[in-house]
Amino acid sequence: MDKDEQFCSAWSGENPRRSEPETRQPDAPASFAASRAGQNPADASRPPSLYNPLVIAIANQKGGVAKTTTTASLGGALTTYGKEVLLVDLDPQANLTLALGRDPGRVRGSITDVLFHSASLLSVSRETSVPGLDLVPANAGMALAERFLPVRKDYETILRRTITDELRPFASEAAPGSKPAGSSFEKNFPVIEYNYIILDCPPFLGAVTLNALVAADLLILPTQPEFFSAHALRTMMTTIRQVRQNQNPKLIFRVLITLLDKRNRIHRQIHDQIYKTFGEGVFQTIIEVDTKLRESAIEGKPIMFHKAQSRGALQYDALAQEIMRYVW
């Protein structure tokens, strides 16, 4: 089986077509959990080692597929289960920053300082209105990233090195539940034990998105069930193959169907085709169209802290549960 198919079993076997898509609570395939760190499936539920957050990149070269909505909503949902989450806005439009109530034009310290000036993530992170949810904002400086980032040496690994040095310094040595003492890390940085780091990528494939894919453990591909969005997955598969081959062989991916309208026949057909093509490479949770998701961005908070019983809130809660079940 090709490397590009290690997390997409559907290439060798098709799932039955589904005439009526729905949000489901699946049984976790052992392959996803075991791929976290090469562990045995029997150990898949073991808590992660200290300073070993799961890094999730949310990316698709197609715009308008709910990448930023997914980043904010998933991050907010994870905090309701007691998880500590760091969101990183990598988009020059800074929509994630806006969606969490920050003015990009007024932020002091942003992801630009990390990528261009070797600042630490913690030095530019900010608390949000949601306890347990922190944000590394973006600002207009990110507009220059695609032009000047490739000039830096080993630019494609900047985010990975930053995360490893700052938030994963003892991942290989620390036993679960133990805390290293007397380290230079603890002397120089405030210790924040994030469970998840979620990277919101710009809607194009370039140096910034490459940084995110190289740093990530899991790539989530939000995909609207429409022709152009589904077609963009071909390019993303090529990019995933290249990243695995050259920089990040352990990168796994999952497709997330978003903005589904069950009344739309084309949506239902493309939804079925995506499942038929990618099989277990598709999240079983589906995100349907919900105007409350747009309202939550205006309010500057994730959907579950705006309308907790809305369809969007319940579906992103299901997505958070699916990820936690598969990972730990």
Q: Token pair 């039955």 is at which residue?
A: 16
- Kindly provide the b/e burial profile for residues 64-103, where b requires at least 16 CB atoms within 10 angstroms of the residue's own CB: ebbbbbbbbbbbbbbbbeebbbbbbbbbbbbbbbbbbebe
All structural domains of the chain, each given as residue ranges with its CATH number in brackets, are 3-8+19-37+44-176+183-327 (3.40.50.300)
What distance in Å separates the CA atoms of residue 328 and residue 317, rounded to the nearest whole number? Answer: 16
- Per residue of the chain (328 residues), what is the pLDDT tens digit? 443 443 333 322 333 333 343 433 333 333 444 444 443 333 333 344 445 899 999 999 888 999 999 999 999 999 999 999 999 999 999 999 999 999 998 988 999 999 999 899 999 999 999 999 999 999 988 989 999 999 988 999 999 999 988 887 654 444 344 444 444 444 444 457 899 999 999 999 999 999 999 999 999 999 999 888 888 888 899 999 999 999 999 999 999 999 999 899 999 999 999 999 999 899 999 999 999 998 988 889 999 999 999 999 999 999 999 999 876 5
8 A C-beta contact, residue 162 and residue 211 = no
Total residues found in the chain within this entry: 328
Residue 4 has what DSSP assignment? G
- Kindly provide the b/e burial profile for residues 12-37, where b requires at least 16 CB atoms within 10 angstroms of the residue's own CB: eeeeeeeeebebeeeebeeebbbbbb
How buried is 192 (Cβ within 10 angstroms: 0-12 exposed, 13-18 middle, 19+ buried)?
middle
Strands 85-89 and 133-136, sheet pairing: parallel
Q: Copy the structure tokens of residue 108.
A: 């002091």
Q: Token pair 């963009």 is at which residue?
A: 232
Question: pTM of the predicted model, to two decimals?
Answer: 0.81
What distance in Å separates the CA atoms of residue 40 and residue 55, rounded to the nearest whole number? Answer: 20
